Amino acid sequence: MKKVIFTLAIATLGLTAVAQDKGSDKQLKFSVGVEAGLPLGDLKETSSLGIGGSVMGEYAAAESLGLTLSAGYLTFSGKTIEDEKMPALNLIPVLVGAKYHFNDKFYGHAQLGMSFASVKVLGVSASTSAFTYAPTIGVTPSENIDISLKYQAYTKGGSSTSFLGLRVAYVF
């Protein structure tokens, strides 16, 4: 887990340096956001609201098309069921995607990648990784604000864990 967080920190610093070098041409944008996730399906039976953050880089490949790379961290607190506290679910999604800008304000975004999940039960940590996808719609009310709503799911072994997410980000 420490290696993943260290890798994310290095990637963030690299994206920040590149974004600052590009400056006014805005071929590369960088954003940092806070996220909230509302559990869906089986996840809502054991977990409550998820909170976290993410970083994203977007390269303008064409006038209306951006290619993205993002990474984040979300934690879903466990519910209490029949006097038993369920463990928190921690997710680190690492996703690549394509963002289509319908106009200056609205966009659609499709992402694919991996999520690294961990839980701690009776003092023992268990972790796994799974294929992840996230269709998203978003709005940019100003040059530096990005608000998006997404359905994110990770699947493994025929089962799926999903949530409805809201991201509010500052764009550099």
Structure-block tokens of residue 113 = 């990648």
Query: Rounded distance, CA 50 to CA 32, Å?
Result: 17
Using one digit for the tens of pLDDT, what is the confidence trace for 1-28?
A: 555 455 555 555 555 544 444 444 579 9
Burial level of 125, CB count in 10 A (0-12/13-18/19+)? Answer: exposed
Predicted pLDDT at 13: 52
Using one digit for the tens of pLDDT, what is the confidence trace for 59-81?
A: 999 999 999 999 999 999 999 99
Using one digit for the tens of pLDDT, what is the confidence trace for 85-133?
A: 999 999 999 999 999 999 999 999 999 999 999 998 877 889 999 999 9
Predicted pLDDT at 171: 97
Structure-block tokens of residue 73 = 């961290």
Look at strands 124-142 and 145-156 and give their pairing.
antiparallel
Predicted pLDDT at 19: 46
pTM: predicted TM-score of the whole model, two decimal places: 0.83
Degrees (nearest 5) of the Cα angle 151, 156, 158?
A: 95
Mean confidence (pLDDT) of the chain:
88
What are the chain's domains? 2-171 (2.40.160.20)
Query: Rounded distance, CA 154 to CA 161, Å?
Result: 5
Predicted pLDDT at 7: 52
Structure-block tokens of residue 157 = 């072994």
Burial level of 163, CB count in 10 A (0-12/13-18/19+)? Answer: buried
Q: Which residues contact 54 (CB under 8 A, 6 or more apart)?
A: 32, 33, 35, 70, 71, 72, 73, 93, 167, 169
Predicted pLDDT at 22: 44
For residues 75 and 50, is the Cβ–Cβ distance under 8 A? yes
Using one digit for the tens of pLDDT, what is the confidence trace for 38-50?
A: 999 989 999 999 9
